[in-house]
Amino acid sequence: MPKAAVYNANGDRVGDLDLSELVFGTTVNEPVLHQAVVRHLANRRSGTADTKTRGEVQGTNRKPWRQKGTGRARAGSFRSPLWRSGGIVFGPHPRKYTQALPKKMRRLALLSALSARAGAGDVIVIEEFELTEPKTKAMASLLRTIEAGGGAMLVTGDRQPLLERVTNNLPGVWCTLAGHLNAYDLLVAEKIVFTRGALDRLGEVLADA
């Protein structure tokens, strides 16, 4: 059964917690995990690259010179792609890169990512973040104490604006909700710090998936 170290709000280790075998102990499906990461990165692409065709570039559309008798090659428009300021042929235009992934595959990818990180010992549990004032220095000290100072994803059961505020200036640290987890974030985070409430909420979310 996978285990995770448990810390209190002061950073003192208070024991170990047996993680759910159904959530953190499944077999890692690498092909599905790879597909989920590719989908996530593709969906982040803006797809706004654009070039102008000969019908969109600025300039006159008149014929540069007469068709015959000049000794030069035929030319029909200054907007032709052959000209320096002409249009672009086969250039990029705005498009969507979004990919779809079945719900069961998304769930399997999430379980695979959670199990992989738990198996590597990168999952940490904290009783609760007891914040009374927005002190980034105190949060940085706490993360170093629980061995997550190099970067961590903090997972909570419900939104905590004060926690989000104190982590804004910490590089490599960000907050998310248990219901918003995805395989990509779980793989890129240095450590994954769950609150007790987040673990309960995660179990509910995956039970409904």
Q: Tell me, yes or no, whether 188 and 91 share the same domain.
A: no
Q: What is the predicted pLDDT for the residue at 207?
A: 80
Q: Tell me, yes or no, whether 181 and 162 share the same domain.
A: yes
Residue 80's pLDDT band (boundaries 50, 70, 90)?
very high
User: How far apart, in whole angstroms, are the C-alpha atoms of residue 108 and residue 183?
Assistant: 9
DSSP states of 20-39: -HHHHSSPP-HHHHHHHHHH
Q: What is the predicted pLDDT for the residue at 2?
A: 87
pLDDT tens profile 86-139: 999 999 999 999 999 999 999 999 999 999 999 999 999 999 888 888 888 989
pLDDT tens profile 1-20: 888 999 998 889 999 999 99
- Please, are residues 6 and 125 in contact by the beta-carbon 8 Å criterion? yes
Q: What is the predicted pLDDT for the residue at 129?
A: 87
Q: Tell me, yes or no, whether 60 and 147 share the same domain.
A: no
Q: Tell me, yes or no, whether 145 and 106 share the same domain.
A: yes
Residue 26's pLDDT band (boundaries 50, 70, 90)?
very high
**pLDDT score of 208 more than 80:** no
Task: Give me the domain span that covers residue 63.
Answer: 51-96
User: How far apart, in whole angstroms, are the C-alpha atoms of residue 193 and residue 156?
Assistant: 9
Q: Tell me, yes or no, whether 80 and 174 share the same domain.
A: no
Q: Tell me, yes or no, whether 115 and 177 share the same domain.
A: yes
Number of domain units in the chain: 2
Q: Tell me, yes or no, whether 59 and 72 share the same domain.
A: yes
Q: Tell me, yes or no, whether 191 and 147 share the same domain.
A: yes
Please report, for the domain that includes residue 164, its CATH number.
3.40.1370.10
Q: Tell me, yes or no, whether 23 and 126 share the same domain.
A: yes
Question: Averaged over 53-74, what is the pLDDT?
Answer: 93
Q: How many Cα neighbours within 13 Å face the side chain of 49?
A: 7
Q: Tell me, yes or no, whether 142 and 201 share the same domain.
A: yes
Q: What is the predicted pLDDT for the residue at 180?
A: 94
112-116, 157-161, 191-195: least confidently modelled range: 157-161
Q: Tell me, yes or no, whether 66 and 153 share the same domain.
A: no
Q: Tell me, yes or no, whether 137 and 170 share the same domain.
A: yes
**pLDDT score of 36 more than 70:** yes
* SS3 (DSSP) at 5: strand
Question: Averaged over 32-43, what is the pLDDT?
Answer: 97
CA distances from 174 to 38, 93, 118, 160, 168 (A): 21, 34, 19, 12, 7
Q: What is the predicted pLDDT for the residue at 149?
A: 79
